Amino acid sequence: MSTMRMTIQRRKILATVQGLPGHVSAETIYHRLKPEMPELSPSTVYRNLKALADMGRVSVTDMGQGWVFEAVGGTPHHHLVCLGCGEVEDLSDSAVRPFFDQLERRGFHVATNHLCIYGYCSSCQEKAGAQEAAR
Ligand SMILES: [Zn+2]
Ligand SMILES: [Zn+2]
């Protein structure tokens, strides 16, 4: 039995990821499917998601609060993730593409289509600045 087999379970998990906009956690998918698949366990969902990621069917990213999954096939996009408040901003592929092209030119093939850049959003910087001033 191949582990790359598309089981009914795996198909349903993939369909659930595809049906939800943006990033979803394994937990969200588990809660979605549990009513119709009582035999499902969180670890099964997680294992299947990882397998789907290996198969290139979903993208997997750690956005600071654990792994999140997203259906592959939409427009490539990237994220700016705030380490202060956890806010996630979308970054268009065109903003990142010149950098990727540059890497390709120096002989490095970029295999990621989903980048997370960590930092602090403007409101968190303001808050930090205010704390600094109050000291
Ligand atoms: Zn994303
Ligand atoms: Zn923030």
Span from the CA of 89 to the centroid of ligand 2 (angstroms): 10
The predicted pLDDT at position 74 comes to 65
- Amino acid 133 reads A
pLDDT tens digits for 51-107?
998 888 888 887 777 788 888 776 778 889 899 998 888 898 899 999 999 999 999
1: confidence class by pLDDT, cuts 50, 70, 90: very low
Span from the CA of 90 to the centroid of ligand 1 (angstroms): 7
Span from the CA of 11 to the centroid of ligand 2 (angstroms): 36
Which of 97, 91, 94 is closest to 121 using CA atoms? 91
Q: Specify the CATH class of 77-134 in words.
A: alpha beta
Residue ranges per structural domain of the chain: 8-71, 77-134
pLDDT tens digits for 29-67?
999 999 999 999 999 999 999 899 888 888 888 777 778
Cα–Cα distance for residue pair 23/17, rounded to 1 Å:
8
Domains 8-71 and 77-134 share a fold: no
Span from the CA of 114 to the centroid of ligand 1 (angstroms): 6
Whether residue 112 is predicted with pLDDT greater than 80 in this model: the reply is: no
Q: Specify the CATH class of 8-71 in words.
A: mainly alpha
